[in-house]
């Protein structure tokens, strides 16, 4: 923490409450000003957001969540969220969809920090919202499934309604235009669709194609908005996906359905997450520290930079895993598909 300034002064400087207070952040669109944009993080027991223009060496989140804030959640269920590993902006920015490798998935209403949905999922590593109804979860080692839950399930916790095997499931991304659900396992990328039914089988997962990964240990899957896009324009959608594996980062060309190395990180090992800024083209990523699955630093491309966190964030040790830009996602969500008026300065290197 910074010395010589009270938490009240710091919070007013950053236009955010001091760490540990519950922030009721409005569901606003990210500012075109790169310095004011937010980044979503997972670290240990916490999911939180920071602005680009604040000091990350003494972070005071503009929003944060821990399971203990959900009074409606039983203590046993709160224990599922002790190792947060991914979080995504959904429902036009009003909610955050988050997972924990301790065994849970949760949909958080960012306006009041209520838990709009939660469910058990063994070693959950990522989740996706499909058609605003289905929550699809990558349940990794010890479960090895791609699971589906109904967001509107009245049970708390919710119950799984469909699943298929997927070894070391780690990443999932939806394309609302084609209704294709892409799912990343340890050795393969699946092209699937959710087929809705009725009665005892309200939904099922149909596998359309399997693509062996170019290298083992799939870690992360996310839209690559600036792949082969016109420089100076904000993309309408993504033409490729980032695919992080144990030995580097690849691009999956959605038209050709082929993998190619992502040159800046082609040989960067243990990349745990990668996220492309829709408005600016800046890429943010995390990679595990040596002898660890976690990190205390965050890396950027275009321009290249590194930001280092202190040993603790609030009361908890720093254990960063995945990081995402808090931004509209016109590839995955129809309500985000309206084109932003803010131009991106250029594309990332191919």
- Of 78-82, 101-105, 338-342, the least confident: 338-342
Cβ neighbours, 10 Å, residue 175? 17
Q: Cβ-count burial of 152 within 10 angstroms (0-12 exposed, 13-18 middle, 19+ buried)?
A: exposed
- C-beta separation of 136 from 146 below 8 A: yes
Point out the least confidently predicted range of 69-78, 92-101, 254-263: 69-78
- Lowest mean per-residue pLDDT among 13-17, 121-125, 190-194, 310-314: 13-17
Phi-psi region of 85 (alpha: psi -120 to 50; beta: other; left: phi over 0): alpha
**108 and 116 Cβ atoms separated by less than 8 Å:** yes
Distance CA 168, CA 125 (A): 9
Q: How much is the mean pLDDT over the chain?
A: 88
DSSP-assigned letter for residue 75: H
| Chain segment 241-290, per-residue pLDDT in tens | 999 999 999 999 999 999 999 999 999 999 999 999 999 999 999 999 99
CATH code for the part of the protein at 7-336: 2.130.10.10
Give 99's contacts (C-beta < 8 A, 6+ positions apart): 84, 85, 86, 87, 105, 106, 121, 124, 125, 126, 127, 137, 138
Question: Which band of pLDDT confidence, cut at 50, 70 and 90, is reported for residue 314?
Answer: confident
Model confidence band, residue 36 (pLDDT cutoffs 50, 70, 90): low
> What average pLDDT does range 309-323 have in this prediction?
92
Residue 348 above 50 pLDDT? no
Q: In the chain, what are the domain boundaries?
A: 7-336
Q: Specify the pLDDT at position 174.
A: 98
Q: Report pLDDT digits (tens) over 125-144.
A: 999 999 999 999 999 999 99
CA distances from 262 to 243, 248, 255, 286, 319 (A): 9, 8, 17, 15, 26
pLDDT at 219 over 50: yes
Q: For residue range 203-214, list pLDDT tens digits in order.
A: 999 999 999 999
- Does residue 343 sit in helix, strand or coil? coil
Predicted pLDDT of residue 89: 97
Q: Please report, in angstroms and rounded to a whole number, the separation of the first and last CA atoms in the chain.
A: 39
């Amino acid at each position: 923490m910074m010395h010589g300034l009270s938490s009240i002064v710091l919070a007013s400087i950053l236009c955010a409450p001091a760490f540990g207070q519950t922030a009721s952040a409005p569901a606003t669109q990210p500012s075109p000003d790169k310095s004011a944009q937010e980044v979503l993080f997972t670290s240990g027991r916490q999911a939180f957001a920071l602005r680009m223009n604040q000091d990350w060496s003494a972070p005071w989140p503009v929003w944060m969540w821990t399971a203990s804030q959900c009074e409606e959640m039983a203590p046993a269920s709160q224990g599922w969220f002790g190792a947060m590993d991914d979080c995504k902006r959904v429902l036009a920015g009003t909610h955050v969809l988050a997972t924990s490798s301790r065994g849970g998935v949760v949909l958080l209403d960012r306006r009041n920090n209520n838990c709009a949905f939660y469910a058990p999922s063994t070693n959950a590593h990522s989740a996706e919202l499909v058609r605003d109804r289905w929550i699809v979860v990558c349940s990794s080692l010890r479960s090895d499934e791609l699971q589906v839950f109904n967001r509107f399930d009245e049970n708390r916790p919710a119950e799984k309604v469909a699943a298929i095997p997927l070894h070391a499931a780690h990443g999932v991304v939806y394309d609302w235009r084609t209704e294709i659900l892409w799912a990343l396992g340890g050795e393969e990328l699946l092209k699937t669709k959710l087929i809705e039914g009725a009665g005892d089988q309200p939904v099922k997962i149909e596998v359309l194609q399997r693509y062996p990964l170019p290298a083992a240990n799939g870690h992360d899957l996310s839209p690559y908005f600036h792949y082969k896009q016109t420089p100076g324009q904000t993309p309408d959608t993504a033409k490729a996906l980032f695919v992080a594996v144990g030995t580097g980062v690849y691009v999956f060309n959605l038209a050709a359905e082929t993998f190619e190395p992502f040159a800046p990180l082609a040989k960067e090992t243990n990349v745990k997450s990668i996220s492309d800024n829709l408005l600016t083209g800046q890429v943010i990523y995390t990679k595990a520290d040596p002898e660890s699955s976690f990190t205390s630093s965050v890396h950027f491309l275009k321009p290249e930079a590194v930001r280092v966190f202190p040993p603790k964030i609030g009361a908890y040790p720093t254990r960063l895993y995945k990081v995402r830009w808090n931004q509209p996602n016109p590839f995955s969500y129809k309500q985000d598909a309206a084109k932003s008026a803010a131009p991106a300065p250029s594309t990332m290197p191919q």
